[in-house]
């Protein structure tokens, strides 16, 4: 099996259950969620999480594709 989810500027950190943890060059963490369906394993883009730096807020994008959690 091969899971192609990394961007060129990302480093693999860990995989636990259905979550893949990737770090970009800025130090932000992207949590990629995998979901098993009738057609096999797929990436759940609607629930992807980005953990970044900030003032303790949680931001949801208007397009419904990204959820961003900022330093809590």
Say whether 68 sits in a helix, a strand or coil: strand
| Two tokens, residue 8 | 């060129």
Range of the domain at 48: 11-70
| Two tokens, residue 37 | 């369906």
Number of domains in the chain: 1
Specify if 34 maps to a domain. yes
Least confident segment among 21-25, 47-51, 58-62: 58-62
Specify if 49 maps to a domain. yes
In angstroms, the CA 47 to CA 70 distance is: 16
Q: What is the pLDDT of residue 51?
A: 92
pLDDT in tens, 31-59: 999 998 888 889 998 889 999 888 888 87
Specify if 6 maps to a domain. no
Specify if 3 maps to a domain. no
Specify if 63 maps to a domain. yes
* pTM for the predicted model, two decimal places: 0.77
């Amino acid at each position: 099996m091969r899971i192609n989810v990394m961007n060129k500027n990302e480093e693999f950190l860990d995989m636990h259950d259905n979550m893949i943890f990737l770090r970009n060059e800025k130090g932000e963490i992207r949590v990629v969620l995998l979901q098993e369906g009738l057609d096999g394993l797929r990436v759940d883009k609607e629930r992807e999480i980005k953990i970044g730096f900030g003032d303790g807020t949680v931001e949801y994008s208007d397009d419904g594709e990204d959820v961003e959690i900022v330093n809590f």
